[in-house]
Amino acid sequence: MRETGVLMPVFSLPSATGAGDLGKAAYRWVDLLAQSHVGIWQILPLNPVGYGNSPYQPYSSFAGDDLYISLDRLYELGLIRKLPRTFMEHSARIDYSQVRAFREPYLREAFANFREDEDYQTFVRQSWVYLYGVFRALKARNHNLCWNQWPDRDKNWPVSRKPLDEDIEKEAHYHMFLQYMFYIQWKALKTYANDKNIKIMGDIPFYVGIDSLDVWADRKSFLLDENGVPVFIAGVPPDYFSATGQRWGNPIYDWDYLKDHDYDFWIQRIGYNQKLFDIIRIDHFRAFDTYWKIPATCPTAMEGEWIEAPGYEVLDMIFKKIPDVYLVAEDLGMLRPQVHTLKNHYHLKGMKILVFALDASGKYARDIEAESENMILYTGTHDNDTIMEWYGKLTPASKRKIRRFLKSRNIKEGSIAQRLITYVLRSQTDIAVISMPDALALGKEGHINTPGTVGSPNWEWHMADFKKAQKQLFKLKHLIEENRQP
């Protein structure tokens, strides 16, 4: 039977403290999904965000952002004395700096009251946990500068492992505590969702951020100079999103070094994420085939070259070491045929986006209808216009063509957003995913991120409450029931 999913970032969930977390609202969200016969909840990366609050530039591939720790849950554990007051409760945007500043005293209080137990000791024995704590403590001491701008004693600590000052050691343990709280809260929520037959589709970036534990502690895996500065960086050449390309700034992997170490860096990343998610979507999957290599001195992504990657070797090793992992490939954009050959070799599901695949003539829609096997069809993702935003930009003639196209598919009732959602749900694809801003028929106000841009208003969309969402999910339930496939 075809599955239906909803794309909804955790940070966008309603919250009494300004940004979505793993508390009561998250459990209510799961209940709403279950009641609506939704079987997959797709989220964005949960890692601690760095530059521009982007979840695709995290401080670690393993750690979770303490933004998601439920203060209510800390109160229930007796770690904070009073329930937090409400803060920016019904805001339609997330102000990350204010929300973090509000939450910080509660997190510090919880740490002061926490007593380590055997479960905690087992968690922190993972190699990355203490390293992450030290990374964040040293980062704070160095005014949050990127690690390659720190003094040598801190920059090279992963090699020297010299004894730390008492205050740095204590700060490191504070961040270790936060990681434990995030982990137990996330695992509890995931178990709750799984018990209601809802799978969680997580998301990991292909690349890691330069300002991260991943690079600081394992710099030989990347093409860096002697000062830890990238020699080449990742991105994509000019495309639909940007006339000058996208210059992401992530360091490029040293694939020769990774090969000599059996691609352990990737095995560890995928293996840990498998503990957190039922399905793992790999963002920018095409870089397993070829990747755009930009000289770090270039101010844009226009200068660069496509380099072949050892995708088959990496994926062979992943499936050898983690045979039951469920991977999904983000295979969007202008791709050479070899990318699809690589994806199909491992029977990975790929992606289609309705607002890209459906032009006013319906030409590309027919391609979807003819090539639906092993595919996930989305109304939209975090990186493109919402349905209503896209539709609003069409000419009157193009809008008429879209309406005629839907009528030709016997989809005549409801708003244009609802009719296009119906089209997705009627498709023969293995999985149909509805973006929550599309389910809410939002326009520009529901746009999550614009590729190639940094900072506000990206990653700030916040659902003020569940009122409209509950009504729209109820409508979605009926559409799912009407379009169930045997």
Give me the active site residues, please: 283, 330, 383
Distance of alpha carbon 273 from alpha carbon 370, whole angstroms = 33
Residue 348 CA to chain centroid, in angstroms? 18
Structure tokens at 213: 């534990």
What is the C-alpha R_g of the chain?
23
Range list of H helices, 292-395 = 311-321, 337-345, 354-357, 363-370, 387-392
DSSP code, position 445: G
Residue 456: name the closest of 87, 98, 82, 207 by CA: 98
Amino acid at 151: P
Q: What are phi and psi of 133, to 5 degrees?
A: -60, -45
Give residue 6's region: left, alpha or beta (phi > 0; psi -120 to 50): beta
Q: How far apart are the first and last CA of the chain?
A: 5
Structure tokens at 117: 């137990």
Distance of alpha carbon 421 from alpha carbon 426, whole angstroms = 9
Q: Is 226 helix (H, G, I), strand (E, B) or coil?
A: coil
- The CA-CA-CA angle for residues 107, 112, 114, to 5°, reads 90
